[in-house]
Structure 1
Amino acid sequence: MLGGDSQPKSARFVETKGAEKVFDEKAYDRAMKLSGYKGHVTNIPRTIVPVRAIIGNYRDLWHVELSFRMSKTELDARPMLHRTGDAIEANLRVVFTALGAARFMQDSTGLLLKKIITTLRPLREFVGVIGDQEITFAGEIRRPAKDILDALQAAR
C-alpha cells in the first residue's frame, strides 16, 4: 500500500494456500478456453474498405465515445423531451455544432475543453447607447485568454 488504503490486486492465476502461493491451473485453463478471436461485423464489402481500415476505425471508436462524454459533461447537453421531428432535429444540430466547435478549439489550442471554457467564460462585451451613439465596451483580455484566442485565429 503506497499512500493508499486499498490492497494491490493479486496476480490473476496465483492462488494463496496458507502461507504459500501456487499457480492456479484451473483458473488458467478456464481463461484459455474463454480466450479466442475477436471479430468485426460490417456491411461494407472488403472491395470498398480494406479489413485493416475497418479494424483501425473500430480501434478509433474511443474518439466517438469521448465526444459523447464531452457533450454530456463540458457542453452540458442533456436529453430533451421534444415531441416533433423538427424540434428533435434542431436540438441534435445545436449539440453537434457545439461539439464540432469544441473539437476545433481543442485541436487548435491543445487544451482540454474544460480549461478553454473556464478561461474564456469571464470575457464579456457590452453594447451601450449614449445619446444617439452606440458604443461597444470590450472587457480586458488577459494573457491566458489571449493565447487561446490567438491559437483559434491562427487555425482558421
Structure 2
Amino acid sequence: MAGGAPLKRNRFIALSGGSRSVNRDLETKARALAGIKGYVTNLQGVSAQFVIDAYHRLFQIEKSFRMSKHDLRARPIYHRKRDSIEAHLTIVFAALAVSRWIEAASGWSIRKFVRTARRYRTIHIQAGKHTLTAAHPLPRDLGEALRAIHGHNTRAH
C-alpha cells in the first residue's frame, strides 16, 4: 500500500475514492488456500496421478498457445484463400513444434534462446580453394544448450 507496486494490479488492495485499505477477507482466503491445488474430472476409473499428469500436459499445451508470435519472430499475415491459410497455419505449427523441442532439449525458454542465439553468426568465405571461417565465440551456456539440442533424441518425442 505504500506505493511500491501498481495498485490496480494488486488484488489485496481495495480502492475506495481516494483511500486504500487491505482486503483482509481476501487475504485470509488466499492464505488458507496457499499451496492447495484441486483437479476436477468426469473420468471414471483413472488414478489421481493420471488426472494430475493430464493437467500438467494441458498446462504445457496452453503455454504453447500463450507464446506470442513475437517470440517466434512471425508477423500477422492476412490470407483469403484456403491453401494460403493452411500453409500459414502449417508454418506456425511447425515453428511452435520446433520451439517446444528446443525448450525441451535445452531447458531454456524459446524467448531466451532466440534472444541469446541471434547475436551469433558464422561466416564462410570461399577464396579459391580455401574456405575462411569467421565466428564470434559462443558463451559457455549457449554452447551447452546447442550441444543439448544437437544430442537430443528426436525419436523420444
The TM-score bracket by the shorter chain reads 0.5 to 0.7
TM-score (norm 2): 0.60
Structure 1 residue 103: deviation in Å? 0.8
CA separation of 1:110/1:134 partners in 2, compared to 1, >3 Å: closer, same or farther? same
Q: State whether structure 2 residue 75 is matched by structure 1 residue 61.
A: no
Structure 1 residue 116: deviation in Å? 0.9
Structure 1 residue 99: deviation in Å? 0.9
CA distance in 2, matches of 1:152, 1:61: 24
CA distance in 1, matches of 2:27, 2:107: 42
CA distance in 2, matches of 1:79, 1:51: 42
8 Å contact from structure 1 (residues 108, 152) kept in 2: yes
CA separation of 1:98/1:5 partners in 2, compared to 1, >3 Å: closer, same or farther? closer
Q: State whether structure 2 residue 136 is matched by structure 1 residue 122.
A: no
Partner SS state of residue 11, structure 1 = helix
Matched to 2:25, the amino acid is: A
TM-score (norm 1): 0.61
Q: State whether structure 2 residue 31 is matched by structure 1 residue 9.
A: no
Partner SS state of residue 60, structure 2 = helix
CA separation of 1:148/1:51 partners in 2, compared to 1, >3 Å: closer, same or farther? closer
CA distance in 1, matches of 2:81, 2:130: 40
Partner SS state of residue 126, structure 1 = strand
Query: What is the total number of aligned residue pairs between the two structures?
Result: 126
Q: State whether structure 2 residue 153 is matched by structure 1 residue 139.
A: no
8 Å contact from structure 1 (residues 105, 152) kept in 2: yes
CA distance in 1, matches of 2:119, 2:80: 36
Match 2:89 to one of 86, 92, 108: 92
Q: State whether structure 2 residue 101 is matched by structure 1 residue 104.
A: yes
- What percent of counterpart residues are identical? 29
**Which deviations, in whole Å up to 9, do the C-alpha atoms of 1:59-95 show, x marking residues without a partner?**
6432222101214341144542112222111111111
Match 1:149 to one of 146, 151, 157: 146
Matched to 1:10, the amino acid is: R
Unaligned runs of 5+ in 1: 15-37, 41-45
8 Å contact from structure 2 (residues 41, 51) kept in 1: no
Partner SS state of residue 61, structure 1 = helix
Structural RMSD (CA): 3.4
CA distance in 1, matches of 2:146, 2:52: 37
